[in-house]
Amino acid sequence: MQASKTIQDCLQWRAMNESCFHCGLPIPATADFPVRYREQAQATCCAGCQAVASTIIQSGLADYYQHRTAGARQAEPLPRELLEQIRLYDAEALQRSFVHIENEQVREASLMLEGITCAACVWLNEQHLSRLPGVLSVDIHYGSHRARVRWDTQRLRLSDILQAIHAIGYHAHPYDANRQEALQQRERKQTIKRLWVAGLSMMQVMMYAVPIYLDSAQEISADFLWLLHWASFILTLPVVLYSAVPFYRATWRDLKAHRVGMDTPISIGILTAFIASCWALLQRVEHGIYFDSVSMFVFLLLGGRYLESLAQRKAGAATESLIKLIPAFAHQLSDWPASHNSQQAAVTQLHKDDIILVKPGETIPVDGLVLAGNSASNEALLTGESRLLDKTEGDTVIAGSVNCTSPLVIRVERNGEDTRLASIVRLLDKALAEKPRLALLANHFASWFVTLLLLTAAATYLGWHYVDPDRALWVMVAVLVISCPCALSLATPTALTAAAGHLASLGILVTRGHALETLPKVSEVVFDKTGTLTYGELRLLDCLPMAVDDRSTVLQLAATLEQGSEHPLARALLAALPTDKMLPACSQLQSLPGQGLSGHIDGKPYWLGAPEFICQQLGLAQLPQPDWQADNTVIALANQQQLLALFAFGDAPRAEAAELIQQLKQQGLNVHLLSGDGDGAVSALAQRLAIPQQRARATPEDKLAYVSALQAQGKRVLMVGDGINDAPVLAKADVSLAMGAGTDVARASGDMILINNQLTLIAQAMKVARRTLHIIQQNLCWAAGYNLLALPLAISGHVTPWIASLGMATSSLLVVSNALRLLRRKS
């Protein structure tokens, strides 16, 4: 009885809806594949759709069918050949180009999804995959259809994930920028074709409409007049049946999901105007034919949408440009250094410790170490550093940078998803996948605004039907078209995407969506000391010549004694020496651990070391000026007769730190210094940089309490740090920025990352964030003001349908163009 009832319900449903519950395609007359959805029988077109729909419903994901805005792809059984191909992706060799290895068990794959048509598709895939045992996280970016899936290899294989995606009607492939570009080009070509048909039809129909509008004296004969109307009808058919199809599809998706979307009023307007014109043509009602308006506003709407898509693609180009930096092939040196003969090899097939040759002008395909050659690399797209960086033997190079001057022989250290470039792309994807509060509010408002608009259009029709029935329909069409809330939905996300792209080009990665929204509200900026405001390494701070006045001479002598040492003080001395200084030979070099060293330069003995060691060599009780640089490490240089110089070493402030602090104060921000270092070092740095509020010897718990106390006073805090001990306070702050050279834990906790450690970019980021908020406010005010002005004009009958379409398209374009101002290099 129950089975008979199900079949009977299903046949009754099909009689009303002749389309598949899952994919929306027509149901063959002989098909009998029912599914049970919320106590009602629904018909599907084939066994595949039945299986997929059952899987979705039984997995507890039935809400997908309520929220989707497009029909799913028709399900197809997984061919045996494809199943075998999917299983091949379990091999580590194939995974190298698109899978990042976090540790022995955890992997993260970058996948490209096909079949994504709306936000509900993203929701369904995320929910379905997250329920698989072993899947740790799933993030899908709707704009690029790129998915990042993390899983436990001991509980799940990559092929299981790919099969699970296929089981609900979608297809997943390893992310390939070229393949993605091909898909986007195909979509753009289809859009251009529709636009071309609409434009050609509009021009031809207007040629027939203009004589009719100008014939005030009725000089055109009635037969010829109706011939022009019939010609307009024929030329408008391709527009309605082909060019306007994207609007119908979107509306059909919305209606099947029991909701109204932004394309719903547009579709209603197009079809209403066309059907009414057809009725007037058949009834020979002369003043009710507006085929020219139909073709014109379809053309204007398509043109506006196309320009919007180009602008949005430009705004989100930061991630895509990074992905495309890596070349497909490299010159591999199999027998280096015995032979310099190279052969072409796929970059994805390179392994750690392989040797490659990168010629001048080529992009470096891997993270590696220079084994031979002297050149310069351009890392501007990755770090924002515009200067060429010298590269010589022993230096590291990063994938995506360009070798500019001479050939380099490089040993592969990291490849594919393990490179620094890949980690940057993952952070950008993470940020773009998050929806800031402003964007969510705008989309929520836009969704119910459409419903209100439809009710207003219906009320307008009824009102005009009693005032002037001949104009009622066209006034309603103008109301439907002119107030589409596209501009309202575009106002926030386009500006945020453009701002994130601009900051990425400067050298700041926005890794969480709320950062740009919160940054303009910050009143307090809290800095860590070591590695943030300072370099985090020993540097020569000062040199005090004693017996001679020539600073360079004593520095050269000290560097000569230290030139073969790997001690941090030796490296600091050598780094401070001018590059054009030649070091003389040093003989009889002797190192005394914990004290210093001695050697002969030009036959004369010299000593370099701790003050106590030098005093012992000279027979002194103590050195002159014993309190000089007391808070730093001091060493002395002497010969047989006398003390020659004192050298002070410490952690020096970054060259741009003082300028940054001054810029932040000029912006009205309060600056704090929070460090675990001793009182003397912290106080000295605070005084040097003019930071009024400081705290020394701060533990991670102290830092957390300090920031919490500021927040308890109602203040918004930006925290800037770099170390593991900064991770908790970075996570606690309202918005945080991690130094690019900091620890992995700190970078993971930061809302933004300063890739090239250029501190002055922080002040620039504050300005960009304020500009972003200002532009979002402009966009929202424009979108709201436009609707408040345009809607009354349309309701009162002062706007024709084609002018309404022009106004709607112009409104959206203005919002996008305003957001694109954030891409300008000057901030």
Q: What is the pLDDT of residue 113?
A: 80
pLDDT in tens, 268-308: 778 877 887 888 788 777 666 778 777 877 886 777 667 65
Q: Which helix (H) or strand (E) holds 3?
A: helix 2-17
CB-based burial of residue 697 (10 Å sphere; 0-12 exposed, 13-18 middle, 19+ buried)?
Answer: exposed
pLDDT in tens, 582-627: 788 888 888 776 678 889 888 889 989 888 888 888 888 777 776 7
How far apart, in whole angstroms, are the C-alpha atoms of residue 33 and residue 15?
A: 15
SS (H, E, C) 312-371: HHHHCHHHHHHHCCCCCEEEEECCCCCCCCEEEEEHHHCCCCCEEEECCCCECCCEEEEE
Count CA atoms closer than 13 A to 810's CA, side-chain side. 10
649 phi-psi bin (left φ>0, alpha ψ -120 to 50, beta other): beta
CB 458 within 8 A of CB 274: no
Q: What is the pLDDT of residue 624?
A: 77
Looking only at the bridges linking them, the beta strands covering 146-152 and 106-114 are antiparallel
Print burial letters for 123-133: b (CB count within 10 Å at least 16), e (below 16): bbbbbbbeebe
Return the minimum-mean-pLDDT range out of 375-384, 408-417, 693-702.
375-384
The label of the residue with tokens 């507890």 reads 60
Q: What is the pLDDT of residue 742?
A: 52
CB-based burial of residue 442 (10 Å sphere; 0-12 exposed, 13-18 middle, 19+ buried)?
Answer: buried
Count of CB atoms within 10 A of residue 350's CB? 21
What's the mean pLDDT in 50-63? 63
Closest CA to 657 of 785, 757, 795, 774: 757
How far apart, in whole angstroms, are the C-alpha atoms of residue 700 and residue 704?
A: 6
How far apart, in whole angstroms, are the C-alpha atoms of residue 166 and residue 95?
A: 19
Torsion of CA 328, 331, 333, 334, to 10 degrees: 50
Structure tokens at 404: 């500019």
* Average pLDDT taken over every residue of the chain: 76
Closest CA to 478 of 797, 785, 247, 245: 797
Closest CA to 85 of 155, 145, 166: 166
pLDDT in tens, 40-50: 777 877 655 66
pLDDT in tens, 152-206: 888 888 888 888 887 776 778 777 666 666 666 777 788 888 889 988 888 888 7
- Start-to-end CA distance of the chain, whole Å, equals 72
Task: Compare 574 and 214 and report the one with higher pLDDT.
Answer: 574
Structure tokens at 97: 């180009």
Cα 50 to Cα 19, 44, 58, 296, 536: the distances in Å are: 13, 6, 12, 42, 62
CB-based burial of residue 176 (10 Å sphere; 0-12 exposed, 13-18 middle, 19+ buried)?
Answer: middle
Looking only at the bridges linking them, the beta strands covering 408-414 and 367-372 are antiparallel
| Sign of the Cα pseudo-torsion (212, 217, 220, 222, in order) | positive
How far apart, in whole angstroms, are the C-alpha atoms of residue 147 and residue 327?
A: 22
Q: What is the pLDDT of residue 259?
A: 62
Closest CA to 660 of 748, 521, 534, 499: 534
How far apart, in whole angstroms, are the C-alpha atoms of residue 377 and residue 396?
A: 11
How far apart, in whole angstroms, are the C-alpha atoms of residue 118 and residue 261?
A: 11
How far apart, in whole angstroms, are the C-alpha atoms of residue 34 and residue 54?
A: 10
Count of CB atoms within 10 A of residue 154's CB? 9
How far apart, in whole angstroms, are the C-alpha atoms of residue 390 and residue 382?
A: 16
pLDDT in tens, 499-524: 877 887 788 878 776 788 788 889 99
Closest CA to 174 of 162, 186, 185: 162
Strand partners, 151: 107, 135
pLDDT in tens, 788-810: 888 888 888 887 766 776 677 67
How far apart, in whole angstroms, are the C-alpha atoms of residue 755 and residue 740?
A: 4
Q: What is the pLDDT of residue 287?
A: 67
Going by pLDDT thresholds of 50, 70 and 90, the confidence category of residue 14 is very low
**% of residues, the chain, pLDDT over 70:** 73
How far apart, in whole angstroms, are the C-alpha atoms of residue 323 and residue 110?
A: 11
**% of residues, the chain, pLDDT over 90:** 4
| φ, ψ at 134 (rounded to 5°) | 110, -20
| φ, ψ at 684 (rounded to 5°) | -65, -45
Q: How far is CA 291 from the centre of its chain?
A: 43
CB 701 within 8 A of CB 709: no
Closest CA to 260 of 486, 439, 117, 448: 448
List Cβ neighbours of 172 (8 Å cut-off, separation of 6 or more).
111, 112, 113, 114, 147, 161, 162, 165, 166
How far apart, in whole angstroms, are the C-alpha atoms of residue 41 and residue 597?
A: 90
CB 105 within 8 A of CB 153: yes
Q: What is the pLDDT of residue 6?
A: 45
Active site annotation includes 744: no
Q: What is the pLDDT of residue 524?
A: 92
Q: What is the pLDDT of residue 13?
A: 41
CB 721 within 8 A of CB 754: no
Structure tokens at 217: 């004296």
Cα 57 to Cα 17, 38, 63, 168, 507: the distances in Å are: 20, 9, 8, 10, 46
Q: Which of 263, 354, 528, 677 is catalytic?
A: 528
Q: What is the pLDDT of residue 153?
A: 86
How far apart, in whole angstroms, are the C-alpha atoms of residue 70 and residue 122?
A: 12
